[in-house]
A and B are shown apart, each in its own frame.
Chain A
Amino acid sequence: NAGVTQTPKFRVLKTGQSMTLLCAQDMNHEYMYWYRQDPGMGLRLIHYSVGEGTTAKGEVPDGYNVSRLKKQNFLLGLESAAPSQTSVYFCASSYPNRDYGYTFGSGTRLTVV
């Protein structure tokens, strides 16, 4: 089925470890986004990309890096994980058209101990 696929779905990291979250979409969307969701905080934008090879900072970019080497993939990296990065991470994608909404992945639940 067409959509946004996130891997892994769950992960437990120790403080200081690194990891990469992968987001893949097969809808030929130009724009891709990474959000984190924390209780009572709603969705907060970490980084986003408006096309292959481009990235930009969102509301809460510190401690994260991203890359968009291919149009269909958007990677989120944590170089040195901290307990404050325990969260549920969502990837989304969209057309460069304001008439459409986002398509979201099912999320990655990350726990940093």
Chain B
Amino acid sequence: AQSVTQPDIHITVSEGASLELRCNYSYGATPYLFWYVQSPGQGLQLLLKYFSGDTLVQGIKGFEAEFKRSQSSFNLRKPSVHWSDAAEYFCAVLSGGSYIPTFGRGTSLIVHP
């Protein structure tokens, strides 16, 4: 069965600092991997996805993520955080023949001015 872990419940960074949000998955083969962002009072919006090819993927809003098979990880990064990036971030994994992704419990990003 597929599973995904986001080890950090909360992350606090200063505006302009770099960011890395961690995501680890459990699945034998290469899964489909997604990062979503949820702004307060909103639904989830797809940031980026990976399913094959280049292991470094670029997404919207200046985010990128790197797939590392050896570490079963798909960490989300941004070089310089803006105050508007404060939100909840969810990693999701889709594996096998399933069309139903498993979501992590989310990481809340707090940005200090």
CB <8 Å contact, B46 and A101: yes
Nearest A residue to B31 via CB reads A98
* B-side contacts of A98, CB under 8 Å: 32, 51, 94, 99
* A-side contacts of B101, CB under 8 Å: 102
Contacts A101-B49, A106-B41 hold; do A42 and B104 have CB atoms under 8 A apart? Answer: yes
CB contact between B44 and one of A94, A96, A102 (< 8 Å): that residue: A102
Nearest A residue to B96 via CB reads A98
- Residue among A42, A45, A48, A107 having the largest count of chain B Cβ atoms under 10 Å: A42
For window 97-111 of chain A, which residues contact chain B by CB distance below 8 Å? 98-99, 101-107
Mask, A78-113, CB within 8 Å of B = 1, is 000000000000101010101101111111000000
For window 10-27 of chain A, which residues contact chain B by CB distance below 8 Å? none
CB <8 Å contact, B99 and A104: no
Nearest B residue to A42 via CB reads B105
Residues of B within 8 A of A (CB): 9, 32, 34, 36, 41-46, 49, 51, 90, 92, 94, 99-101, 103-106
